[in-house]
Amino acid sequence: MSPALLATAAVVLAASGLAHAVTHASTRRAVVAHGVLGAGWAGPVVVLLTAVELLLGAGLLAAVLLGDAPAQRGLGLTAAALFLLLAGYAHAAWRARPGAASACACGVGESPLGPWVTLRAVLLGLLALGGAVAVEAAGVAGRPWHEVVVLVSATTALSVGLTYLPAARALSAPLVLGRATS
């Protein structure tokens, strides 16, 4: 299960980095609105974060695909540290402006700052940490096809679920699946 956990962290990092690259100006404005960093720091921090997310996500995914255990462990621990750092930042930003509706600037799955943004970052940090601690040396290419299907399915479900958790929690109306019966 370690590859699915690490691949999920990698996919979320890469998707977030790509989204930050595409929406750089709005991400910078949101970081300024958070009130945690000075306005002069927002631009460089967003550029640095975008680069780290893209490189770390791509490197971690490559390490998982190739079965490079030392790289998986090191990059997984780095991803865990980044996610937990982002959780601390999200919590500080939310607490700095109580009652103000600021965008989280999370990349994919935008939502207002709040406890769900912090929880998502903590969950991703724990997921990356768990994957890094339980690294398996086998690469994805060396696994039987049915294990690869499970790995890809688990990675997809975890990535989508965790990416959109805060946005789903911010919905004002309940989400209803299927037809209501009376």
3-state secondary structure 2-41: HHHHHHHHHHHHHHHHHHHHHCHHHHHHHHHHHCCCCHHH
Q: Give a yes or no: residue 174 inside a domain.
A: no
Q: Give a yes or no: residue 17 inside a domain.
A: yes
pLDDT score, position 88: 94
Alpha carbon 167 to its chain centroid, in Å, reads 13
Q: Give a yes or no: residue 63 inside a domain.
A: yes
The range of the structural domain enclosing residue 141 comes to 2-166
Q: Give a yes or no: residue 134 inside a domain.
A: yes
Q: Give a yes or no: residue 176 inside a domain.
A: no
pLDDT tens digit sequence for 68-109: 999 999 999 999 999 999 999 989 988 887 666 778 887 765
% of the chain at pLDDT higher than 70:
79
**Structure-token match 């790509």, residue found:** 18
Split into its structural domains, the chain has a count of: 1
Q: Give a yes or no: residue 173 inside a domain.
A: no
Q: Give a yes or no: residue 65 inside a domain.
A: yes
DSSP string covering 130-163: HHHHT--S--GGGS-HHHHHHHHHHHHHHHHHHH
pTM: 0.82
Would you state the structure tokens that stand for residue 31, as one six-digit string? Answer: 């970081």
Q: Give a yes or no: residue 135 inside a domain.
A: yes
% of the chain at pLDDT higher than 90:
32
CA distances from 131 to 85, 87, 125, 153 (A): 18, 18, 10, 16
